[in-house]
Structure 1
Amino acid sequence: MTEADLPPRLTGLTFHGPLSEARATRIVDRLRRAAPARVLDIGCGWGELMLRVLDAVPGATGTGIDLNAEDLARGRANAEARGLTGRVEFVEGSAQEASHRSADLVLCLGASHALSDAEPPEHSAAALRALRGMVAPGGRVLLAEGFWQRSPTSAELAAMWPDARADEFHDLAGLVDVAISAGFRPLRIETADGDEWEDFESGYQADAEEWLAAHPDHPLARETRERVDRHRSSWLRGYRGVLGMAYLTLVPVG
């Protein structure tokens, strides 16, 4: 079986998270005003937002770190297409190994779990302390982190991922409090809206759904169908309207 026989992966997503073009443009515009010379993207995936910041800040350099070789290759290809190859590197490795690095802008978009072995929700505080150690004085951290928009019901928890817990996330106010306790002040607090979540969830499944429609009898069809049906049910019956995504722009104190 060749790679061409397999369903493609995430080609319908620009960002690996519920982030719209409009919000991304606003975020990049705010971040470029601080003129970061060095950008570090933790758990970068293909590093789309990092590349946009580098495009917006002439001369800035960036490093993206992730464990997924396929995503990193996509990031390198995108960088080459934009003429950014000499200003960015994509490193395959553990985010915790990057704790010695320092940058003027540190991005951690849905990847706080990569910075700590602590159980949720304690991993958020541990990750924020690690990020505080990475950002240069006067720099910025952009953290995208999950939070409960409201307390989930027992039925919703049962429909989510295995062992989902009501205490697994902070609410938004609690998450901001954790960031402040870690040594930051919040410059901007914003959250993904329903349209951003629906675009992300649909885009996340789109490749596999299209492939299943075209290959209903493929040897991998049953396994793929069960996987995507399980994920869709988890979203629609479990965390839709319950799990939020916060985008916190943070500045270190002192």
Structure 2
Amino acid sequence: MERHLISRIAHTDHPIAAPLSDESVERLLDRATRGGAERMLDLGCGEAPWLLRALAARPKLRAVGVDLDAEALTLARRSADALGVARRLGLHHQDAREFSSAEPFDVVLCVGATHAFGGLLPTLAAVREHLAPGGVAVVGDCFWEREPSRAALDELGGIAAEEYADLPTTVERVVAEGWTPVQGHVSSLQEWDDYEWAWTGSLAEWALDNPGHPESEEAATVAAEHRHGWLSGYRGTLGFVTLLLRRTAA
């Protein structure tokens, strides 16, 4: 089953592709734009839920989203039309690593999509290229809440423990790259649980509602395996932090 299709279905009931509640998203957006941001970029935007929320609440804002999933971008355009913000939203179907713009952005987001750049630090390097002086980066990535067990690593696809660090080390690495955290949010266990139940539940329900679809059985299998991996492997071990960052003055 195509990865983008799995993701779109799995995020039906939780459009934000990260363990963040609606309240947390709004609070982060409010903080990131409080300086009067006029241009916002989302690298790996998917269906652009961050941008759509930001645009709907801020009539002076213009936004750009970049993603490789053409269908997700089509859905984002439809949502933008429905909200009446389509004229202020530009969407680009391309690799986020190749995106370029003649103008910098006041806010650059990459939340839950750092894999597109090969990890947190490469993501920060890419974000830096697009950020205006004094601008705010909103970057969300995983960390270890506690030392991962072999079972947790196996359930996460057999990744190495070095894939992530603990929270203090993660933040120290960000600071060492020339960034200053000005705000942050560590997702709670409740936020993780809400996200995972929605992810696995939406995919499982789609399989139940489409028994004749050629990919129904695979969708049900993916949902069941993901649910097992979360509950029996990385629940309470894998954390998620969203950092609001400004470039440290030279």
TM superposition shift of 1:44: 0.4
Shift of 1:153: 1.0
**Equivalent residues of 2:204, 2:224 under 8 A apart:** no
TM-superposed deviation, 1:46: 1.2
C-alpha contact (below 8 Å) 1:40/1:107 kept by paired residues:
yes
* Aligned pairs (5 A) from 1:117-196: 123-161=119-157, 163-196=158-191
TM-score of the two chains, using structure 2 as the length reference: 0.89
Structure 1: segments with no counterpart, 5+ residues: 1-5, 117-122
Matches within 5 A, 1:89-100: 89-98=90-99
SS in 1 for 2:138: strand
Query: What is the distance in 2 between the residues matched to 1:87 and 1:147?
Result: 34
Other-structure match for 2:241: 246
The CA deviation at 1:225 is 2.4
**CA–CA distance in 2 between the matches of 1:164 and 1:188?**
29
Output the CA distance in 2 between the equivalents of 1:160 and 1:30. 32
Superposed structure 1 runs of 4+ greater than 6 Å apart:
none
Query: Is the CA contact 1:132–1:183 (under 8 Å) kept in the aligned structure 2?
Result: no
- What are the equivalent positions in structure 2 for 1:191-230 lying under 5 Å apart? 191-214=186-209, 219-230=214-225
Q: Which amino acid aligns with 1:211?
A: W
Give the CA deviation at 1:217: 6.8
1:46/1:214 Cα in 2 relative to 1: closer, same or farther (>3 Å)? closer
CA distance in structure 2 between the aligned counterparts of 1:59 and 1:219, rounded to whole angstroms:
45
- How far 1:204 sits from its partner (Å)? 1.2
1:106 — aligned with what? 108
CA distance in 2, matches of 1:94, 1:147: 25
Contact 2:33–2:107, Cα closer than 8 Å, also in 1: no
1:231 and 2:230 matched:
no
Rate the CA distance shift 1:76–1:218 in 2: closer, same or farther, 3 A.
closer
Secondary structure in structure 1 of the residue aligned to 2:35:
coil
Q: Is the 8 A contact 1:132 1:182 kept in 2?
A: no
Corresponding position: 1:82 with 2:83: yes
**TM-score, length-normalised on structure 1?**
0.88
What does the per-residue CA deviation read over 1:150-190, in whole Å, with 9 as the maximum and x for residues that have no partner? Answer: 111122222322x2211110211111112212221000122
Q: Tell which deviates more after alignment, 196-205 or 95-104.
A: 95-104
Counterpart contact for 1:135–1:252, Cα < 8 Å = no
Pairwise CA distance, 1:100:
5.3
The answer to whether the 8 A contact 1:104-1:139 is kept is yes
Could you tell me how far apart the structure 2 residues matched to 1:242 and 1:164 are?
14
1:63 is the counterpart of 2:64: yes
Q: 1:241 to 1:82 in 2, by over 3 A?
A: same
Displacement of 1:99: 5.0
CA RMSD after TM alignment: 2.0
Conserved 8 A contact 2:107-2:137? yes
1:53 counterpart residue number: 54
CA displacement, residues 109-142 of structure 1 (integer Å, 9 cap, x when unaligned):
11112124xxxxxx32222122122211000000
CA offsets, 1:8-67, max 9 Å, x none? 813212311111011112112212212111111000011111222223332221100001
State the distance in 1 between where 2:72 and 2:191 align. 21
CA distance in 2, matches of 1:229, 1:79: 33
Q: How many residues align?
A: 241
2:45 — aligned with what? 44
Gap change, CA 1:92 and 1:219, over 3 Å in 2: closer
Instruction: Report deviation, 1:219.
Output: 4.7
Gaps of 5+ in 2: 1-5
Secondary structure of the residue that 2:190 maps to in structure 1?
helix
Q: Which amino acid aligns with 1:127?
A: T
The answer to which of 199-208 and 83-92 deviates more is: 199-208
